[in-house]
A and B are shown apart, each in its own frame.
Chain A
Amino acid sequence: AQTVTQSQPEMSVQEAETVTLSCTYDTSESDYYLFWYKQPPSRQMILVIRQEAYKQQNATENRFSVNFQKAAKSFSLKISDSQLGDAAMYFCAWAGGSRLTFGEGTQLTVNP
Chain B
Amino acid sequence: GAVVSQHPSRVICKSGTSVKIECRSLDFQATTMFWYRQFPKQSLMLMATSNEGSKATYEQGVEKDKFLINHASLTLSTLTVTSAHPEDSSFYICSAKLAGVRNEQFFGPGTRLTVL
Contacts and interface: CB of A to CB of B under 8 A. Distances in A.
Of A42, A45, A104, most buried by chain B (CB within 10 Å of CB) is A45
Interface string B79-90: 000000000000
Contacts, number: 52
Interface of A: 33, 35, 37, 42-47, 50, 52, 89, 91, 95, 97-100, 102-105, 107
Given A91-B43, A99-B34, A105-B43, A43 B103 contact: no
A47 B103 CA distance: 12
B97 A91 contact: no
Interface of B: 32, 34, 38, 41-44, 46, 49, 91, 93, 95, 97, 102-105, 107, 109-110
A104 B110 contact: no
Given A102-B43, A104-B42, 4 more contacts: A45-B95, A91-B43, A95-B105, A100-B34
B90 to A, nearest CB: 12
18 contacts: A33-B102, A33-B103, A35-B104, A44-B107, A44-B109, A45-B107, A46-B107, A91-B43, A95-B103, A95-B105, A98-B32, A99-B46, A100-B44, A100-B103, A104-B42, A104-B43, A105-B42, A105-B43
* Pairs of residues from A and B, 8 with the lowest C-beta to C-beta distance, nearest first: A45-B107, A95-B103, A33-B103, A102-B43, A44-B109, A43-B110, A104-B43, A102-B44
B107 A103 contact: no
A103 B43 CA distance: 7
A43 B91 CA distance: 9
Q: B-side binding surface: helix, strand, loop or mixed?
A: strand
Nearest to B110: A43
Nearest to A107: B41
Nearest to A104: B43
Contact of A98 (B91, B93, B97): B97
A44 B110 contact: yes
A91 B91 CA distance: 16
Contacts of B44: 45, 91, 100, 102
A43 to B, nearest CB: 5
